[in-house]
Amino acid sequence: MKRRNFIKTAGVAATVPMVLNGMKISAAPMSPLFSGIDPYSDKVLVIIRLSGGYDGLNVVLPLDQYSNLSKLRTNILIPDTKALKISTETGLHPAMTGFQQLFQDGKLGVVHSVGYPNQNRSHFRSTDIWQSASSANEYVNTGWVGRYFQDDHPTYPEGYPNGQFPDPFAITLGSTVSETCQGTVGNFSLTLTDPFNFGKLTEGKETLFPETPYGQELSFLRTSISQTNQYADVIGVASKKGKNQATYPTSNLATQLKNVALLLSGGIKTRVFVANLGGFDTHANQVDASDTTRGTQRELLLILSEAIKAFQEDLRLMKLEERVLGLTFSEFGRQIKSNFSMGTDHGTAAPLFVFGSCVGKQIVGKNPEIPVTVPDQTGVPMQIDFRDVYGSILQDWFGVSQAEIKDYLFANYTRLPIVKNCAVATDTDDITFEATSVKAYPNPFREMSRISFRLNGSAWTRISVFDNIGSELRVLMNQQLGAGDHQVDFLGEQWPAGIYFCRIQVGREVQTVRMVKI
C-alpha cells in the first residue's frame, strides 16, 4: 500500500497515536506524510529547460577563481567589475539584473555545479538522463515526473480526464512533449502552444470498433482526440477566467510563462509545467570579440532573467507566489577552457537556479575550483547530483515519502535545502561535516593519496574520484559512517598523470578536492 494513498483516505482523522510501518506517528509530527494534508495539494512546479548545454561559468561567476579563470578564458571571460554580486565571491552575468533582484528579494536560489557521474556530452543522451533521472549508463524510458504521476494513475491515459481529475496533470509549453512527464503508456503532459488557439479536433461519428488491432488503434486515436478536446475545454475556461497582471517582455519564453500564470490564475489544477529556452549550444560567438558582456549568451540570459522576473511579479500580484516553485536545468555545462571561436565546447556540470517565494535566498554548494592549468576538454567537476535536486523537490515541495522518491529516482538522494520558507516538511538534519577537515595527502602524489575528513555525527558518506572530463573513475566509499575521523586511500598507479577530483559527499554537504598525479 502506498503511504500517500493511505493518508488520503485517513485524512486529518489520524490524530491519535498509531503505528504505521513500525514508526510512531507522534514521533514525526512535522512530516507531511502524517499531517493529513491533501496529497494533491496545490503546489506547482515549473521546469525551464535551457537546451543546448549552457556555459555555467559565464552565468554564475566564481569571482574568487578569476585569477586562474582569466588565463583559461582569455577571450570570453566576463570582467569581474561587471559581475552582479550575490555574495562576496559569487556574481551573476551582467545581463541578469532581474535574477539579482530576485535573489535580493529572497526568491532565487543557486545550486552550484549540478551534474551526474560519468557525464555524457551528447545533447540527446544527456537530456534523456536529466529527464528520466537515470544514471549515465542506464536507459530508462519514463520521466521522473511521469513516474511520480503514474504511481497514482497507473491506467492513464485510459479513463482520463474524469470528474475527479478534469485537468491535465502536466502541461508542456510548445509542441514537443516533455520526456520528463513520460509514463510507461502515456505522456502525462498536454502539449500547449497557445491557450487561446487550442483547436478543437473533428471527432466524427462514434462507431463500434471491431475487436482487431485495427479497431484497437482506431479506438486509441478516438480517445486521444476526445481527450485533447476535453482538455481543450478546461484550457479554454481557465484562459478566459484568468488574467495576467504584470507586463512581460517580448520573448518566446516570456510568452510561455505568461500562459502558465494565466492558466494558474484561471484556476487550472495542473501540477507541473515545462517550458523551454533553446540556443545555449554556444560553440562559437558566445560572446562578442569586442565586448564579452555581449553576444549570444547575453541575449539568452537576458531573456531568461527578464521572463522569470516578470513571471514572479505576475504571481505576486495574483497572490499565487507561495504555490509555485521554479527550476531551470541544462543538459550539461561547458568546458573550462574557451575555444578559439569565442565560444565553449560541451562540458560537464553547471549551476542551476530555483526560483519562487519559497526557495529562500541561498547558494547551495561552492564556487567550482579552477586550477592554474587544465587539460583540454576539462569540464567543471560535479558537486551536486541532479537527482538530489529532484528528490529534494519531490520531498519538500510535493511531500512525497523518501521511499517513493527512491523508487522514482532509482537511487538514494541527498536532501538539499532548496525549499525553505514554505516547505511542507521541516528540515531536521544536522550538518555533520567539518568541511575544513578535508585533506588529501600527499598531493601531488605518485601512487597513492590519502583522503581524510572528520564527521560530527553519523552520516551517509560517498567518496568518489573523477577525471578531468567528469568520468567517475572509482567510488572509494559509499556507506554510513559514525562520528569522528575517517580516511580512505586513492590508489592511482593505474591512472595516467594529470588532474583528478575527489568528491566527498556527507549527507547534503559536498567538498571537492583537486589532486594532481605526477
Partner 1 sequence: MDRRATLSTLLGRSHAAKATPPLETPKPPVLGLTPYAGTFGFEQAAHLLRRTTFGPKYAQIKDAASKGLNATLNELFKDNPLPNPPLNYDYTTDPNVPVGSTWIDAPYVRDTTNGGILHQGYRNTSLRTWTYETILNEATSIREQLTLFWHNHFGIGDNQDPKFWYRHITLLRTYAWGNFKELIKKINIDPLMLRFLNSNQNTVTAPNENYAREVLELFTIGKGPLVGPGDYSNYTEQDIREFARALTGWRDQGYNVTDATTKVGSFFRISSHDAKTKKLSPRFDETVINNGFDKEHETVVDIIFSKKEVARFICRKLYRWFVYYEVSAEVEQNVIEPMADILVQNNYEIKPALMALLKSEHFFDVLNMGPMIKNPLVFSLNLLKQIGWNAMEASDLATRHKALAALIREVANQQMVYFDPPDVAGWKPYYQEPAFYRIWINASTLQARMRLTDRMATNNYTVGSRTGLNVLNFANTMSNPYDPYLLVEDMVSVLLPQSLTDPQMTDLMNAFLAGTPDYEWNTIWTNYTKNPGNATARSSAETKLRNLVKAILSLPEFFLS
Contact footprint for partner 1 (CB under 8 A): 122-125, 128, 139, 141, 172, 174-177, 184-187, 190-193, 198-199, 201-202, 204-205, 207, 210-214, 216-218, 220-222, 224-225, 227-228, 231, 284-285, 289, 340-342
For partner 1, which is the closer residue by CB, 230 or 245? Answer: 230
Minimum CB–partner distance for residue 174 and partner 1 (Å)? 8
For partner 1, which is the closer residue by CB, 192 or 463? Answer: 192
Q: How far apart, in whole angstroms, are the C-alpha atoms of residue 1 and residue 210?
A: 37
Residues 353 and 98: beta-carbon distance below 8 Å: no
Minimum CB–partner distance for residue 123 and partner 1 (Å)? 8
Minimum CB–partner distance for residue 217 and partner 1 (Å)? 5
- Residue 218, sorted as left (phi over 0), alpha (psi -120 to 50) or beta, turns out to be alpha
For partner 1, which is the closer residue by CB, 38 or 376? Answer: 376
Q: How far apart, in whole angstroms, are the C-alpha atoms of residue 117 and residue 146?
A: 23
Q: How far apart, in whole angstroms, are the C-alpha atoms of residue 231 and residue 198?
A: 9
- Residue 232 DSSP code: H
Residues 236 and 263: beta-carbon distance below 8 Å: no
For partner 1, which is the closer residue by CB, 284 or 317? Answer: 284
Give the angle 58-64-68 at the CA atoms, nearest 5°.
75
Q: How far apart, in whole angstroms, are the C-alpha atoms of residue 408 and residue 404?
A: 6
For partner 1, which is the closer residue by CB, 103 or 231? Answer: 231
Minimum CB–partner distance for residue 450 and partner 1 (Å)? 29
List helix spans (H) across 441-508. none
Cβ partners under 8 Å of residue 269, min gap 6: 40, 42, 166, 167
Q: What's the chain's Rg over C-alpha atoms? A: 24
Minimum CB–partner distance for residue 223 and partner 1 (Å)? 10
List helix spans (H) across 242-338. 252-265, 296-318
The label of the residue with cell 567539518 reads: 434
For residue 25, count other CB atoms closer than 10 A to its CB: 17
Minimum CB–partner distance for residue 65 and partner 1 (Å)? 26
For partner 1, which is the closer residue by CB, 342 or 515? Answer: 342
DSSP codes of every residue in 386-416:
HHHHHHHHHHHTS---HHHHHHHHTS-----
For partner 1, which is the closer residue by CB, 234 or 358? Answer: 234
For partner 1, which is the closer residue by CB, 288 or 322? Answer: 288
Minimum CB–partner distance for residue 497 and partner 1 (Å)? 14
- Residue 106, sorted as left (phi over 0), alpha (psi -120 to 50) or beta, turns out to be left
Q: How far apart, in whole angstroms, are the C-alpha atoms of residue 154 and residue 403?
A: 18
Minimum CB–partner distance for residue 207 and partner 1 (Å)? 5
For partner 1, which is the closer residue by CB, 84 or 129? Answer: 129
Minimum CB–partner distance for residue 195 and partner 1 (Å)? 12
